[in-house]
Amino acid sequence: MKQMDTRNLSMVMDLYEMTMANGYFHTADIYDPVTFDVFYRKNPDGGGFAIFAGLEQVLDYLEGLHFGPEDIDYLRSLRLYDEKFLEWLAHFRFTGTVTAMPEGTIVYPNEPLVTINAPLIEAQLVETAILAQINHQSLIATKARRIVQAAKGRAVSDFGARRAHNMDAAVYGARAAYIGGVNSTATVLAGQLFGIPVSGTMAHSWVMYFDDEYTAFKHFAEIYPDQAVLLVDTYNVLTSGVPNAIRVAKEVLEPMGKRLAGIRLDSGDLAYLSKEARRMLDDAGLTDCRIVVSNSLDEYTIRSLLDQGGCIDSFGVGERLITAKSDPVFGGVYKLTAVHHGQACRPKIKLSESFEKITNPGRKKIWRIYDAIGHARADLLTNPDEKPDVRTEYVFVDPEKPWKRSHFSHCTAKELHQTYIQQGKRVQTLPALSDIRAYVQDQLRHEIWPEEQRFENPHHHYLDMSPAYYEMKMNLLRQTRGQGSL
Protein backbone atom coordinates (compact mmCIF):
# COMPACT_ATOMS: atom_id res chain seq x y z
CA MET A 1 0.00 0.00 0.00
CA LYS A 2 1.29 3.45 -0.88
CA GLN A 3 1.51 6.19 1.71
CA MET A 4 -1.90 7.79 2.05
CA ASP A 5 -0.94 11.41 1.44
CA THR A 6 -0.91 12.88 -2.05
CA ARG A 7 2.40 14.70 -2.07
CA ASN A 8 4.19 15.05 -5.38
CA LEU A 9 7.74 14.04 -4.53
CA SER A 10 9.20 14.90 -7.93
CA MET A 11 10.85 18.01 -6.51
CA VAL A 12 12.87 15.96 -4.01
CA MET A 13 16.17 16.72 -5.69
CA ASP A 14 19.33 18.74 -5.32
CA LEU A 15 19.29 21.96 -7.30
CA TYR A 16 22.26 20.85 -9.39
CA GLU A 17 20.16 18.07 -10.91
CA MET A 18 17.70 20.59 -12.35
CA THR A 19 20.50 22.95 -13.34
CA MET A 20 22.34 20.19 -15.20
CA ALA A 21 19.08 19.09 -16.81
CA ASN A 22 18.57 22.60 -18.15
CA GLY A 23 22.15 22.63 -19.39
CA TYR A 24 21.71 19.30 -21.16
CA PHE A 25 18.48 20.58 -22.69
CA HIS A 26 20.39 23.37 -24.44
CA THR A 27 23.68 21.62 -25.25
CA ALA A 28 23.13 17.86 -25.66
CA ASP A 29 20.88 15.30 -27.22
CA ILE A 30 18.54 14.85 -24.26
CA TYR A 31 17.22 11.59 -25.67
CA ASP A 32 20.64 9.93 -25.63
CA PRO A 33 20.28 6.96 -23.27
CA VAL A 34 22.65 6.83 -20.33
CA THR A 35 23.25 4.34 -17.54
CA PHE A 36 23.58 5.11 -13.83
CA ASP A 37 24.31 2.61 -11.05
CA VAL A 38 23.37 2.86 -7.39
CA PHE A 39 25.94 1.26 -5.10
CA TYR A 40 27.59 1.79 -1.72
CA ARG A 41 31.21 1.57 -0.61
CA LYS A 42 31.32 0.01 2.87
CA ASN A 43 29.08 -2.01 5.15
CA PRO A 44 27.59 -0.22 8.17
CA ASP A 45 29.14 -0.88 11.58
CA GLY A 46 32.02 -2.80 10.03
CA GLY A 47 29.64 -5.66 9.26
CA GLY A 48 29.99 -8.33 6.62
CA PHE A 49 26.99 -7.39 4.48
CA ALA A 50 24.01 -5.08 4.09
CA ILE A 51 20.34 -5.59 3.26
CA PHE A 52 18.94 -3.85 0.19
CA ALA A 53 15.67 -2.06 1.00
CA GLY A 54 13.54 0.78 -0.34
CA LEU A 55 12.99 -0.51 -3.88
CA GLU A 56 9.19 -0.38 -3.72
CA GLN A 57 9.23 3.33 -2.85
CA VAL A 58 11.74 4.04 -5.63
CA LEU A 59 9.47 2.39 -8.20
CA ASP A 60 6.39 4.23 -6.90
CA TYR A 61 8.30 7.52 -7.18
CA LEU A 62 9.46 6.86 -10.74
CA GLU A 63 6.01 5.85 -11.91
CA GLY A 64 4.49 9.04 -10.56
CA LEU A 65 7.27 11.41 -11.59
CA HIS A 66 5.89 14.67 -13.01
CA PHE A 67 6.04 18.43 -12.49
CA GLY A 68 2.77 20.18 -11.74
CA PRO A 69 1.88 23.86 -12.29
CA GLU A 70 3.04 24.83 -8.79
CA ASP A 71 6.39 23.14 -9.39
CA ILE A 72 6.86 24.94 -12.71
CA ASP A 73 5.92 28.27 -11.11
CA TYR A 74 8.48 27.75 -8.36
CA LEU A 75 11.21 26.84 -10.83
CA ARG A 76 10.33 29.92 -12.89
CA SER A 77 10.70 32.08 -9.78
CA LEU A 78 14.34 31.01 -9.45
CA ARG A 79 15.13 32.82 -12.70
CA LEU A 80 17.55 30.08 -13.77
CA TYR A 81 15.62 28.37 -16.56
CA ASP A 82 14.05 29.60 -19.80
CA GLU A 83 10.46 28.99 -20.86
CA LYS A 84 11.28 26.32 -23.45
CA PHE A 85 12.83 24.14 -20.78
CA LEU A 86 10.00 24.79 -18.31
CA GLU A 87 7.41 23.94 -20.96
CA TRP A 88 9.26 20.69 -21.66
CA LEU A 89 9.25 19.89 -17.94
CA ALA A 90 5.49 20.40 -17.75
CA HIS A 91 5.06 17.29 -19.95
CA PHE A 92 7.85 15.29 -18.33
CA ARG A 93 7.42 11.60 -17.47
CA PHE A 94 9.96 8.89 -16.69
CA THR A 95 10.30 6.60 -19.72
CA GLY A 96 13.41 4.65 -18.76
CA THR A 97 14.15 1.10 -17.68
CA VAL A 98 15.00 0.04 -14.13
CA THR A 99 16.76 -3.17 -13.22
CA ALA A 100 17.60 -4.00 -9.63
CA MET A 101 18.29 -6.71 -7.15
CA PRO A 102 15.10 -7.96 -5.50
CA GLU A 103 14.31 -6.03 -2.35
CA GLY A 104 15.72 -7.85 0.67
CA THR A 105 18.78 -9.17 -1.18
CA ILE A 106 21.93 -9.51 0.92
CA VAL A 107 24.37 -7.11 -0.74
CA TYR A 108 27.99 -6.04 -0.63
CA PRO A 109 30.03 -2.91 -1.41
CA ASN A 110 30.61 -1.66 -4.97
CA GLU A 111 28.02 -3.83 -6.69
CA PRO A 112 25.05 -2.26 -8.51
CA LEU A 113 21.91 -2.42 -6.39
CA VAL A 114 19.82 -0.53 -8.94
CA THR A 115 20.61 0.40 -12.54
CA ILE A 116 18.78 3.20 -14.36
CA ASN A 117 18.84 3.16 -18.17
CA ALA A 118 17.02 6.24 -19.39
CA PRO A 119 17.27 9.37 -21.55
CA LEU A 120 19.88 11.75 -20.21
CA ILE A 121 17.71 14.26 -18.35
CA GLU A 122 15.40 11.64 -16.90
CA ALA A 123 18.29 9.70 -15.42
CA GLN A 124 19.87 12.85 -14.00
CA LEU A 125 16.79 14.23 -12.26
CA VAL A 126 16.03 11.15 -10.14
CA GLU A 127 19.34 10.85 -8.26
CA THR A 128 18.46 12.40 -4.91
CA ALA A 129 15.06 10.78 -4.45
CA ILE A 130 16.39 7.32 -5.28
CA LEU A 131 19.33 7.65 -2.92
CA ALA A 132 17.18 9.04 -0.12
CA GLN A 133 14.96 5.97 -0.12
CA ILE A 134 17.66 3.35 -0.59
CA ASN A 135 20.19 4.88 1.79
CA HIS A 136 17.67 5.21 4.60
CA GLN A 137 15.86 1.90 4.34
CA SER A 138 18.95 -0.18 3.58
CA LEU A 139 20.67 1.33 6.62
CA ILE A 140 17.78 0.59 8.99
CA ALA A 141 17.15 -2.90 7.60
CA THR A 142 20.83 -3.74 8.10
CA LYS A 143 20.87 -2.35 11.65
CA ALA A 144 17.67 -4.24 12.48
CA ARG A 145 19.24 -7.50 11.32
CA ARG A 146 22.18 -7.02 13.67
CA ILE A 147 19.84 -6.35 16.59
CA VAL A 148 17.67 -9.36 15.78
CA GLN A 149 20.77 -11.53 15.52
CA ALA A 150 21.94 -10.37 18.95
CA ALA A 151 18.52 -11.23 20.44
CA LYS A 152 19.08 -14.93 19.64
CA GLY A 153 15.52 -15.79 18.71
CA ARG A 154 13.79 -13.49 21.18
CA ALA A 155 11.20 -11.12 19.79
CA VAL A 156 12.27 -7.58 18.88
CA SER A 157 9.86 -4.68 18.42
CA ASP A 158 10.57 -1.31 16.83
CA PHE A 159 9.88 1.38 19.46
CA GLY A 160 11.67 4.18 17.63
CA ALA A 161 9.12 6.54 16.07
CA ARG A 162 9.46 9.38 18.57
CA ARG A 163 13.23 9.48 18.11
CA ALA A 164 13.18 9.19 14.32
CA HIS A 165 14.35 12.19 12.32
CA ASN A 166 10.82 12.92 11.12
CA MET A 167 7.48 11.17 10.56
CA ASP A 168 8.50 9.65 7.21
CA ALA A 169 11.66 8.31 8.82
CA ALA A 170 9.53 6.69 11.51
CA VAL A 171 7.13 5.05 9.04
CA TYR A 172 9.63 3.89 6.43
CA GLY A 173 12.14 3.06 9.13
CA ALA A 174 9.57 0.69 10.62
CA ARG A 175 9.10 -0.88 7.18
CA ALA A 176 12.85 -1.36 6.80
CA ALA A 177 13.21 -2.73 10.32
CA TYR A 178 10.54 -5.32 9.56
CA ILE A 179 12.45 -6.36 6.44
CA GLY A 180 15.52 -6.70 8.65
CA GLY A 181 13.70 -9.10 10.95
CA VAL A 182 11.97 -7.26 13.80
CA ASN A 183 8.68 -8.86 14.80
CA SER A 184 6.49 -5.78 15.23
CA THR A 185 6.38 -2.00 15.43
CA ALA A 186 4.84 0.50 17.81
CA THR A 187 4.22 2.87 14.87
CA VAL A 188 0.54 2.58 14.04
CA LEU A 189 0.75 4.18 10.58
CA ALA A 190 3.41 1.65 9.55
CA GLY A 191 1.10 -1.11 10.67
CA GLN A 192 -1.77 0.39 8.69
CA LEU A 193 0.20 0.98 5.50
CA PHE A 194 2.39 -2.09 5.37
CA GLY A 195 0.58 -4.75 7.40
CA ILE A 196 3.32 -4.93 10.04
CA PRO A 197 2.12 -6.36 13.38
CA VAL A 198 1.78 -3.58 15.97
CA SER A 199 2.62 -3.84 19.65
CA GLY A 200 2.72 -1.58 22.67
CA THR A 201 2.10 -1.42 26.39
CA MET A 202 1.70 1.77 28.41
CA ALA A 203 3.71 4.86 29.29
CA HIS A 204 4.81 5.99 32.73
CA SER A 205 2.17 8.71 32.47
CA TRP A 206 -0.58 6.06 32.71
CA VAL A 207 0.84 4.85 36.01
CA MET A 208 1.47 8.37 37.30
CA TYR A 209 -2.05 9.61 36.50
CA PHE A 210 -3.75 7.30 38.98
CA ASP A 211 -3.45 7.69 42.74
CA ASP A 212 -1.34 4.56 43.09
CA GLU A 213 0.43 1.99 40.94
CA TYR A 214 -1.88 -0.88 41.80
CA THR A 215 -4.94 1.05 40.64
CA ALA A 216 -3.23 1.95 37.36
CA PHE A 217 -2.34 -1.69 36.72
CA LYS A 218 -5.82 -2.86 37.75
CA HIS A 219 -7.62 -0.56 35.30
CA PHE A 220 -5.30 -1.50 32.45
CA ALA A 221 -5.76 -5.21 33.08
CA GLU A 222 -9.53 -4.83 33.22
CA ILE A 223 -9.56 -3.08 29.84
CA TYR A 224 -6.99 -5.34 28.15
CA PRO A 225 -7.24 -8.68 29.97
CA ASP A 226 -5.84 -10.70 27.06
CA GLN A 227 -2.73 -8.58 26.50
CA ALA A 228 -1.87 -6.87 29.75
CA VAL A 229 1.83 -5.98 29.81
CA LEU A 230 2.50 -3.76 32.83
CA LEU A 231 5.30 -1.17 33.02
CA VAL A 232 6.84 -1.85 36.44
CA ASP A 233 9.64 0.72 36.81
CA THR A 234 7.75 3.98 37.42
CA TYR A 235 8.54 3.91 41.15
CA ASN A 236 10.53 0.88 42.29
CA VAL A 237 10.73 -2.31 40.28
CA LEU A 238 11.27 -4.88 43.00
CA THR A 239 9.46 -3.38 45.99
CA SER A 240 6.48 -1.90 44.12
CA GLY A 241 6.20 -2.61 40.41
CA VAL A 242 6.58 -6.39 40.29
CA PRO A 243 4.60 -7.00 43.52
CA ASN A 244 1.72 -4.89 42.20
CA ALA A 245 1.82 -6.70 38.87
CA ILE A 246 1.64 -10.05 40.69
CA ARG A 247 -1.26 -8.76 42.79
CA VAL A 248 -3.17 -7.72 39.66
CA ALA A 249 -2.49 -11.11 38.10
CA LYS A 250 -3.94 -12.86 41.15
CA GLU A 251 -6.79 -10.52 42.11
CA VAL A 252 -7.95 -9.21 38.72
CA LEU A 253 -6.92 -11.50 35.89
CA GLU A 254 -7.07 -14.99 37.37
CA PRO A 255 -10.70 -14.57 38.53
CA MET A 256 -11.46 -13.70 34.88
CA GLY A 257 -9.70 -16.84 33.73
CA LYS A 258 -6.86 -14.74 32.25
CA ARG A 259 -3.10 -14.69 32.69
CA LEU A 260 -0.77 -11.73 33.02
CA ALA A 261 0.89 -11.42 29.60
CA GLY A 262 4.03 -9.64 30.72
CA ILE A 263 5.89 -6.93 32.54
CA ARG A 264 8.16 -4.32 31.02
CA LEU A 265 11.40 -2.87 32.38
CA ASP A 266 12.52 0.48 30.94
CA SER A 267 15.30 1.61 33.29
CA GLY A 268 17.90 0.47 35.77
CA ASP A 269 20.20 -2.53 35.66
CA LEU A 270 18.16 -4.57 33.22
CA ALA A 271 20.17 -7.78 33.64
CA TYR A 272 19.88 -7.79 37.44
CA LEU A 273 16.28 -6.57 37.54
CA SER A 274 15.13 -9.10 34.95
CA LYS A 275 16.64 -11.97 36.93
CA GLU A 276 15.07 -10.81 40.18
CA ALA A 277 11.72 -10.16 38.52
CA ARG A 278 11.82 -13.62 36.93
CA ARG A 279 12.40 -15.21 40.33
CA MET A 280 9.50 -13.29 41.88
CA LEU A 281 7.13 -14.11 39.03
CA ASP A 282 8.05 -17.79 39.06
CA ASP A 283 7.61 -17.98 42.84
CA ALA A 284 4.11 -16.57 42.33
CA GLY A 285 3.30 -19.23 39.75
CA LEU A 286 3.53 -16.79 36.81
CA THR A 287 6.10 -18.78 34.89
CA ASP A 288 4.40 -17.86 31.60
CA CYS A 289 4.58 -14.11 32.24
CA ARG A 290 7.01 -12.58 29.74
CA ILE A 291 9.64 -9.99 30.61
CA VAL A 292 10.05 -7.21 28.06
CA VAL A 293 12.91 -4.72 28.30
CA SER A 294 13.57 -1.41 26.56
CA ASN A 295 15.77 1.69 27.12
CA SER A 296 18.50 2.67 24.61
CA LEU A 297 19.15 -0.86 23.39
CA ASP A 298 21.24 -1.97 20.42
CA GLU A 299 22.95 -5.18 19.37
CA TYR A 300 25.82 -4.70 21.81
CA THR A 301 23.69 -3.96 24.90
CA ILE A 302 21.37 -6.84 24.02
CA ARG A 303 24.30 -9.22 23.66
CA SER A 304 25.70 -8.02 26.98
CA LEU A 305 22.38 -8.47 28.78
CA LEU A 306 22.04 -12.03 27.55
CA ASP A 307 25.68 -12.83 28.32
CA GLN A 308 24.96 -11.72 31.90
CA GLY A 309 22.10 -14.20 32.11
CA GLY A 310 19.33 -11.66 31.80
CA CYS A 311 15.91 -13.32 31.96
CA ILE A 312 14.43 -11.48 28.99
CA ASP A 313 11.79 -12.69 26.56
CA SER A 314 11.62 -9.74 24.17
CA PHE A 315 13.19 -6.37 23.43
CA GLY A 316 11.72 -3.01 22.51
CA VAL A 317 14.39 -1.13 20.57
CA GLY A 318 14.03 2.56 19.80
CA GLU A 319 16.45 5.35 19.02
CA ARG A 320 19.51 3.24 18.26
CA LEU A 321 17.56 1.24 15.69
CA ILE A 322 15.48 3.93 13.99
CA THR A 323 18.49 6.26 13.63
CA ALA A 324 21.13 3.51 13.24
CA LYS A 325 22.95 5.58 15.86
CA SER A 326 26.31 3.78 15.84
CA ASP A 327 26.84 4.30 12.07
CA PRO A 328 24.06 6.52 10.73
CA VAL A 329 25.17 6.93 7.09
CA PHE A 330 24.75 4.18 4.51
CA GLY A 331 26.80 6.00 1.89
CA GLY A 332 25.02 4.91 -1.26
CA VAL A 333 25.96 6.84 -4.41
CA TYR A 334 24.57 7.27 -7.93
CA LYS A 335 27.19 7.31 -10.67
CA LEU A 336 27.15 7.56 -14.46
CA THR A 337 28.58 4.38 -15.97
CA ALA A 338 27.74 4.58 -19.70
CA VAL A 339 26.55 6.91 -22.47
CA HIS A 340 24.86 5.51 -25.58
CA HIS A 341 24.99 7.01 -29.07
CA GLY A 342 22.93 4.92 -31.46
CA GLN A 343 24.23 1.37 -31.22
CA ALA A 344 27.50 2.47 -29.61
CA CYS A 345 27.94 2.29 -25.84
CA ARG A 346 30.72 4.39 -24.30
CA PRO A 347 31.59 3.23 -20.77
CA LYS A 348 32.36 5.99 -18.25
CA ILE A 349 34.55 5.81 -15.17
CA LYS A 350 35.15 8.15 -12.24
CA LEU A 351 38.79 8.35 -11.18
CA SER A 352 39.97 9.21 -7.70
CA GLU A 353 43.09 9.45 -5.60
CA SER A 354 41.36 6.88 -3.37
CA PHE A 355 41.28 3.39 -4.88
CA GLU A 356 37.92 2.58 -3.31
CA LYS A 357 36.28 5.56 -5.05
CA ILE A 358 37.17 4.47 -8.59
CA THR A 359 33.88 3.30 -10.09
CA ASN A 360 33.09 0.14 -11.98
CA PRO A 361 32.26 1.42 -15.48
CA GLY A 362 29.93 0.43 -18.27
CA ARG A 363 26.84 -1.70 -18.66
CA LYS A 364 27.30 -4.85 -16.65
CA LYS A 365 25.69 -7.87 -15.07
CA ILE A 366 26.04 -8.95 -11.46
CA TRP A 367 26.01 -12.67 -10.65
CA ARG A 368 26.03 -14.53 -7.35
CA ILE A 369 28.21 -17.63 -7.41
CA TYR A 370 27.12 -20.60 -5.29
CA ASP A 371 29.18 -23.61 -4.35
CA ALA A 372 27.97 -27.19 -4.66
CA ILE A 373 26.00 -27.06 -1.38
CA GLY A 374 24.36 -23.69 -2.05
CA HIS A 375 26.54 -21.27 -0.10
CA ALA A 376 27.18 -17.89 -1.75
CA ARG A 377 30.89 -18.04 -2.51
CA ALA A 378 31.37 -14.64 -4.21
CA ASP A 379 29.72 -12.13 -6.54
CA LEU A 380 30.90 -11.59 -10.11
CA LEU A 381 30.74 -8.61 -12.47
CA THR A 382 30.65 -9.34 -16.19
CA ASN A 383 29.98 -7.50 -19.42
CA PRO A 384 26.27 -7.55 -20.33
CA ASP A 385 26.70 -10.13 -23.10
CA GLU A 386 28.56 -12.65 -20.91
CA LYS A 387 27.06 -15.67 -19.18
CA PRO A 388 29.69 -17.33 -17.00
CA ASP A 389 29.83 -21.12 -17.08
CA VAL A 390 31.05 -21.90 -13.58
CA ARG A 391 30.21 -25.60 -13.72
CA THR A 392 33.66 -26.34 -15.09
CA GLU A 393 36.81 -24.30 -14.48
CA TYR A 394 35.95 -20.60 -14.92
CA VAL A 395 38.87 -18.21 -14.56
CA PHE A 396 38.06 -14.84 -12.99
CA VAL A 397 39.96 -11.79 -11.74
CA ASP A 398 40.11 -10.66 -8.13
CA PRO A 399 40.46 -6.88 -8.67
CA GLU A 400 42.22 -6.51 -5.32
CA LYS A 401 44.80 -9.16 -6.30
CA PRO A 402 44.74 -9.25 -10.10
CA TRP A 403 48.05 -11.12 -10.30
CA LYS A 404 46.49 -14.26 -8.82
CA ARG A 405 45.02 -16.94 -11.07
CA SER A 406 41.67 -17.83 -9.54
CA HIS A 407 38.80 -19.94 -10.79
CA PHE A 408 35.35 -21.27 -9.92
CA SER A 409 34.36 -24.86 -10.59
CA HIS A 410 31.42 -27.09 -9.68
CA CYS A 411 29.43 -23.93 -8.98
CA THR A 412 26.22 -22.30 -10.14
CA ALA A 413 25.62 -18.66 -11.08
CA LYS A 414 22.45 -16.61 -10.53
CA GLU A 415 21.98 -13.23 -12.18
CA LEU A 416 20.94 -10.84 -9.41
CA HIS A 417 19.21 -8.09 -11.38
CA GLN A 418 15.60 -8.24 -12.50
CA THR A 419 13.69 -5.74 -14.66
CA TYR A 420 11.05 -3.79 -12.74
CA ILE A 421 10.27 -0.87 -15.06
CA GLN A 422 10.49 -1.11 -18.85
CA GLN A 423 10.11 2.10 -20.88
CA GLY A 424 8.45 3.81 -17.94
CA LYS A 425 5.94 1.05 -17.18
CA ARG A 426 5.96 -1.38 -14.24
CA VAL A 427 6.50 -4.90 -15.59
CA GLN A 428 6.72 -6.91 -12.39
CA THR A 429 4.49 -7.29 -9.36
CA LEU A 430 6.39 -6.76 -6.14
CA PRO A 431 6.23 -9.32 -3.33
CA ALA A 432 4.43 -8.71 -0.07
CA LEU A 433 6.49 -7.17 2.72
CA SER A 434 6.28 -10.40 4.71
CA ASP A 435 7.75 -12.26 1.73
CA ILE A 436 10.64 -9.78 1.50
CA ARG A 437 11.31 -10.31 5.20
CA ALA A 438 11.23 -14.09 4.74
CA TYR A 439 13.62 -13.77 1.77
CA VAL A 440 16.17 -12.05 4.01
CA GLN A 441 15.89 -14.78 6.61
CA ASP A 442 16.17 -17.55 4.02
CA GLN A 443 19.38 -16.11 2.55
CA LEU A 444 21.00 -15.71 5.95
CA ARG A 445 19.97 -19.18 7.01
CA HIS A 446 20.93 -21.08 3.86
CA GLU A 447 23.19 -19.01 1.58
CA ILE A 448 25.34 -16.53 3.50
CA TRP A 449 28.30 -17.93 5.39
CA PRO A 450 28.05 -17.62 9.20
CA GLU A 451 31.53 -16.09 9.10
CA GLU A 452 30.12 -13.13 7.16
CA GLN A 453 27.51 -12.61 9.86
CA ARG A 454 29.97 -12.02 12.70
CA PHE A 455 29.85 -8.60 14.37
CA GLU A 456 33.63 -8.42 14.73
CA ASN A 457 36.05 -9.11 11.87
CA PRO A 458 33.53 -10.69 9.51
CA HIS A 459 34.70 -12.67 6.52
CA HIS A 460 35.17 -10.53 3.41
CA HIS A 461 32.76 -11.38 0.59
CA TYR A 462 34.56 -11.08 -2.75
CA LEU A 463 33.36 -9.06 -5.71
CA ASP A 464 35.25 -10.58 -8.63
CA MET A 465 35.29 -9.71 -12.33
CA SER A 466 35.28 -11.65 -15.54
CA PRO A 467 38.55 -11.28 -17.45
CA ALA A 468 36.78 -9.39 -20.23
CA TYR A 469 35.13 -6.95 -17.84
CA TYR A 470 38.35 -6.38 -15.91
CA GLU A 471 40.25 -5.71 -19.15
CA MET A 472 37.59 -3.22 -20.26
CA LYS A 473 37.96 -1.37 -16.95
CA MET A 474 41.76 -1.32 -17.14
CA ASN A 475 41.69 -0.07 -20.75
CA LEU A 476 39.31 2.71 -19.77
CA LEU A 477 41.53 3.67 -16.86
CA ARG A 478 44.51 3.95 -19.19
CA GLN A 479 42.54 6.04 -21.69
CA THR A 480 41.07 8.34 -19.08
CA ARG A 481 44.12 8.92 -16.90
CA GLY A 482 45.49 12.40 -17.36
CA GLN A 483 42.52 13.69 -19.33
CA GLY A 484 40.85 15.41 -16.38
CA SER A 485 37.78 13.21 -16.83
CA LEU A 486 37.00 12.65 -13.17
pLDDT at 244 (0 to 100): 98
- Rounded average pLDDT over 86-98: 97
Cβ-contact 262, 281 below 8 angstroms: no
Query: Which CA distances in Å does 211 have to 245, 253, 273, 405?
Result: 16, 21, 25, 76
pLDDT of residue 354: 78
What pLDDT, on the 0 to 100 scale, is given for residue 290?
98
Cα end-to-end span (Å), the chain: 41
- State pLDDT tens for residues 16-34: 999 999 999 999 888 999 9
Q: How far is it, in rounded angstroms, from Cα 337 to Cα 349?
A: 6
| 251 pLDDT above the threshold of 90 | yes
**In terms of Cα–Cα distance, which of 124, 100, 120, 103 is closest to 112?**
100
| CA-based nearest residue to 30, from 121, 161, 138 | 121
Per CATH, which fold does 9-140+328-480 belong to? nicotinate phosphoribosyltransferase (3.20.140)
Check residue 440 and give left, alpha or beta (phi > 0: left; psi -120 to 50: alpha).
Answer: alpha
> Is the CATH number 3.20.20.70 carried by domain 201-291?
yes
For the cut 50, the answer to whether the pLDDT of residue 174 exceeds it is yes
Evaluate if residue 3 carries a pLDDT over 60. no
How would residue 8 be classed by pLDDT, with cut points 50, 70 and 90? confident
Check: CB of residue 114 under 8 Å from CB of residue 337: no
Neighbouring CB atoms inside 10 A of 222's CB total 13
Residue 334 pLDDT? 98
pTM: 0.95
Kind and range of the H or E run holding 334: strand 333-341
Shortest CA distance to 233 belongs to which of 289, 186, 273, 285?
A: 273
pLDDT at residue 485, rounded to an integer: 43
Angle between helices 167-180 and 433-446 (to 10 degrees): 40
What's residue 1's pLDDT? 43
pLDDT tens for each residue of 218-238: 999 999 999 999 999 999 999
Q: What is the pLDDT of residue 5?
A: 54
pLDDT at 486: 38
Per-residue confidence (pLDDT) for residue 484, from 0 to 100: 53
Statement: residue 303 has pLDDT above 50: yes
CA distance 385 to 473: 16
Percentage of residues in the chain having pLDDT higher than 70: 98
Average per-residue pLDDT in the chain? 95
DSSP 397: B
Q: Tell me the three state secondary structure of residue 270.
A: helix
pLDDT tens figures, 115-164: 999 999 999 999 999 999 999 999 999 999 999 999 999 999 999 999 99
Q: Are 361 and 338 in contact (CB under 8 A)?
A: yes
Strands 114-119 and 97-100: antiparallel
Measured CA to CA, the distance from residue 116 to residue 130 in angstroms comes to 10
Lowest mean pLDDT: which of 185-194, 273-282, 334-343? 334-343
> What is the predicted pLDDT for the residue at 357?
84
Q: Phi first, then psi: what are they for 52, rounded to 5°?
A: -75, 125
Share of the chain above pLDDT 90, in %: 92
Domain boundaries defined on the chain: 9-140+328-480, 201-291
- Answer for the pair 108, 43: CB distance below 8 angstroms, yes or no: yes
pLDDT per position as a tens digit, 375-433: 999 999 999 999 999 999 999 999 999 998 899 999 999 999 999 999 999 999 999 99
